[in-house]
Chains A and B, each alone.
Chain A
Amino acid sequence: MNTIPGIGLVRGMSLTLRRFFQPKATIMWPEQKADVAPKFRGRLQLLYDEYGTLKCETCFQCAQACPIECIDMGGVDTKGRFHVHWGAPETYGERREESALRRSGRPVADAAFARFAEIDLAGLDAILEAHDYDPKEMLAILEETQAEYGYLPVAALKHISRVTGAWYATIYGTASSYGHLQFEPPAVPGAAAGSATVGGAHRAAEDAFRSAFEASLGLAGRAG
């Protein structure tokens, strides 16, 4: 195919011509708002107040809210010379929780944290024992955890992280990259209409894009 001289030009031109007639990806902001995932936190940027000093007071709330623990906290030393990293990244979670608790004096009660509720870890411990607490067998561990609980509770992921030594972010990343692993309890058929929107049906554009994308890859029949 590539031996014919000039065929590349024709193929490129045909590609652009096909693009010309395809539907456009532009979202007509501000008439139309982007369909953004609920955990999207926008651009990460430290803000300055009107006196030119940083508004950040190291409360760790941003790091605490970050769903994949990508926010790390650091700063400069007291003379403003050297960049300081506060400890190893693995210990952020503990220090963060500690800091937030120390500042507020009490754990934050929030309905959104309901699924962080404690679970019975006996089954999970059995699974982990069977896999010798080996993080290399993470996928099998996660699949069996899902079989045990019906979904992947955050408490279970935290426990797996603690006992296997794998970072929570890594486990989360592994779990979220497989379509058959889910973080939400399976929808109850008789549930109220209001709670049904929590699952994922409210992101119509993303679902449409995903189904179109999978169809274009020939994956339409496979469970997402």
Chain B
Amino acid sequence: MTALNRSLGNLSTAGKVILPLLFLIMVVAPVLTILFALFVGPWLVNVLNSNMGIVRFVVAIGGVLLFSIPAAFIIIYMELKVIAYMNLRVGPNRVGPAGALHSLVAGLKVLTKEDFTPTSSDRVVFTWAPVLVFLTCVMTFLVIPFGPGLVGQDLNIGLLYLFAVGGMTVVGLLLAGWSSFNKYSLLGGLRSAAQMVSYEIPLTLSVVGLILLAGTMSLNGIAEQQSGWFTNWFVFRQPLGALIFFIAAIAEANRTPFDLTEADSEIVAGFATEYSGMRFGFLFFAEYVNVFIVSALLVTLFFGAWGPGIDIGAIYTWLGVTPISISIDPGSLGIGLLGVVLVIPVALTVIFAAPFYLARSSTPAWQALLLGFILFNVVAIGALFFLAYVNLDWVAGLVWFMAKAFAFVYLFVWMRATFPRVRIDHLMAFAWKWLLPAALLNLFITATAIVVVKSL
């Protein structure tokens, strides 16, 4: 025992940590893995299989919660960078490559800031209002179909659920404004409530025509009806509805030119005046998650959801070509798979390193190998991604969905860089005098058209 103690004492502090960790990784982990695979695994699979609904729900909840944070980070970074570019500036460029980690650091900063609660504010409500706002945003993710079969819960009243949950945001904002014990916060909260309630009506009415056409309120169903060529997209059958939805959605997401709820350059901060630290962070995050949700909704409802807008199958039949199907079954290799897994990375690394080593005699071997390894990784990941895109419908769908959604996020950021803010009375007048009648007109025309077409 003393020998063990002495040898432990000879280790540096880092060694004292690493050695037990090494023991855990090399001995305990394999033993536990084998035990798990032998005894716990089959039982666990059995239990999970028999409760598929719950598992799906938990996975979906975890997925959207985990997804919302990086989505917000990316959108914040995108906003900083794109607006900077449009102002002929460079934007964040110090943290990470091209400042890509800037929003991450901003998030950490928000976490470390003092979380201040005003005296005689309503503590419980004050604490939970941002959570409510954030939660309503995240909950709307549950029904959005990111790809074929990639939907948290395919509710048959998905659209209704979406508007119902999205409408709860107003409650959160009102609570935040009221509980702050600050007249400006209260006024800001009331103002945002007025705006969001006003724009909720044209927002909801603008998609009723679409629901009549689609015959379903399930977002998955609506998405499936727009597959194939882009002419199937609902934007071509409901252009007015799409326009109204777009405008109302900007107001719902509190974006420029309708960002009166938190007009960052004019009023204090609206309902968020008294908020600081991570509670403000939640409100802030919710805003950006909202931007993504609105973009995702636009894509899902009007712009073909996950479909690329091109019917590849039709093109193949027109050309008379059978599509190339790449199907690799790694299981067929048997034990040889182990050899392939061991050999291919090394072989490809060396092959990719060779040109670097041979091209310039001054390149050290380790540098060439490192470059080769990086190149191998790029190629391998690219190949894997390509295979996944070709073979898995949901990967291809996800790629297209994200591309379209972020195109709309870009549009929102672009608008923020361009437009000035609308005055509050103009805002309200526009909602009630223009958008609402236009939405009703759209509904009327759509219903008439459906009746006429059916009677023909």
Among A19, A20, A24, A28, the one with the most B-chain Cβ atoms within 10 Å of its Cβ is: A20
Instruction: Find out whether the CB atom of A9 lies under 8 angstroms from the CB atom of B85.
Output: no
A217 CB to nearest chain B CB (Å): 18
Asked whether A191 is an interface residue with its Cβ less than 8 Å from the other chain, the reply is no
Residues of B within 8 A of A16 (CB): 86, 414, 417-418
Residues of B within 8 A of A15 (CB): 418
Q: Which residue of A lies closest to B87 (CB)?
A: A19
Instruction: Known contacts A9-B419, A15-B418, A16-B414; decide if A24 and B88 are in contact (CB<8 Å).
Output: yes
List B residues 51-95 near A (Cβ within 8 Å): 82, 85-90, 93
Instruction: Find out whether the CB atom of B90 lies under 8 angstroms from the CB atom of A13.
Output: no
Asked whether B415 is an interface residue with its Cβ less than 8 Å from the other chain, the reply is yes
Instruction: Find A12's partner among B82, B85, B88, B419 (CB 8 Å cutoff).
Output: B419
Instruction: Find out whether the CB atom of B85 lies under 8 angstroms from the CB atom of A19.
Output: yes
Whole-angstrom CA separation of A28 from B414 in the bound complex: 24
Whole-angstrom CA separation of A23 from B88 in the bound complex: 7
Q: Which residue of B lies closest to A22 (CB)?
A: B88
Asked whether A17 is an interface residue with its Cβ less than 8 Å from the other chain, the reply is yes
List B residues 388-437 near A (Cβ within 8 Å): 414-415, 417-419
Q: Could you mark each residue 1-21 of chain A with 1 if its beta carbon is under 8 Å from any beta carbon of chain B, else 0?
A: 000000001001101110110
Instruction: Find out whether the CB atom of A24 lies under 8 angstroms from the CB atom of B90.
Output: yes
Residues of A within 8 A of B89 (CB): 24-26
B347 CB to nearest chain A CB (Å): 41
Residues of A within 8 A of B93 (CB): 28
Whole-angstrom CA separation of A25 from B87 in the bound complex: 9
Instruction: Find out whether the CB atom of A13 lies under 8 angstroms from the CB atom of B418.
Output: yes
Whole-angstrom CA separation of A175 from B217 in the bound complex: 74
Residues of A within 8 A of B87 (CB): 19
Instruction: Find out whether the CB atom of B414 lies under 8 angstroms from the CB atom of A25.
Output: no
Whole-angstrom CA separation of A118 from B86 in the bound complex: 53
- Chain A at the B interface: mostly helix, strand, loop or mixed? helix
Whole-angstrom CA separation of A20 from B82 in the bound complex: 7
Instruction: Find B415's partner among A13, A26, A28 (CB 8 Å cutoff).
Output: A13
Among B90, B93, B418, the one with the most A-chain Cβ atoms within 10 Å of its Cβ is: B418
Q: Which residue of B lies closest to A8 (CB)?
A: B419
Whole-angstrom CA separation of A16 from B83 in the bound complex: 9
Q: Which residue of A lies closest to B90 (CB)?
A: A26
Residues of A within 8 A of B415 (CB): 13
Whole-angstrom CA separation of A141 from B207 in the bound complex: 75
Whole-angstrom CA separation of A25 from B91 in the bound complex: 11
Instruction: Find out whether the CB atom of A24 lies under 8 angstroms from the CB atom of B85.
Output: yes
Instruction: Find out whether the CB atom of A20 lies under 8 angstroms from the CB atom of B419.
Output: no
Instruction: Find out whether the CB atom of A17 lies under 8 angstroms from the CB atom of B88.
Output: no
Instruction: Find out whether the CB atom of B85 lies under 8 angstroms from the CB atom of A20.
Output: yes
Instruction: Find out whether the CB atom of A20 lies under 8 angstroms from the CB atom of B86.
Output: yes
Instruction: Find out whether the CB atom of A28 lies under 8 angstroms from the CB atom of B418.
Output: no
Q: Which residue of A lies closest to B85 (CB)?
A: A20
A119 CB to nearest chain B CB (Å): 45
List B residues 84-139 near A (Cβ within 8 Å): 85-90, 93
Whole-angstrom CA separation of A26 from B82 in the bound complex: 14
Whole-angstrom CA separation of A203 from B140 in the bound complex: 57
Residues of A within 8 A of B82 (CB): 20
Residues of A within 8 A of B419 (CB): 9, 12
Instruction: Find out whether the CB atom of B90 lies under 8 angstroms from the CB atom of A19.
Output: no
Residues of B within 8 A of A17 (CB): 86, 414
Q: Which residue of A lies closest to B89 (CB)?
A: A26
B413 CB to nearest chain A CB (Å): 10
Q: Which residue of B lies closest to A11 (CB)?
A: B418
Instruction: Find A13's partner among B85, B88, B414 (CB 8 Å cutoff).
Output: B414
Chosen A-B contacts, 15 in total, with CB atoms closer than 8 Å, are A9-B418, A9-B419, A12-B418, A13-B414, A13-B418, A15-B418, A19-B86, A19-B88, A20-B86, A20-B414, A22-B88, A24-B85, A26-B88, A28-B90, A28-B93
Instruction: Contacts A17-B414, A26-B89 known; list 11 others, CB within 8 Å.
Output: A9-B419, A12-B419, A13-B415, A13-B418, A16-B86, A17-B86, A20-B86, A23-B88, A24-B85, A24-B90, A28-B90
For the complex of A and B, list the 3 residue pairs with the smallest distance between their C-beta atoms, beginning with the closest. A26-B90, A16-B86, A16-B418
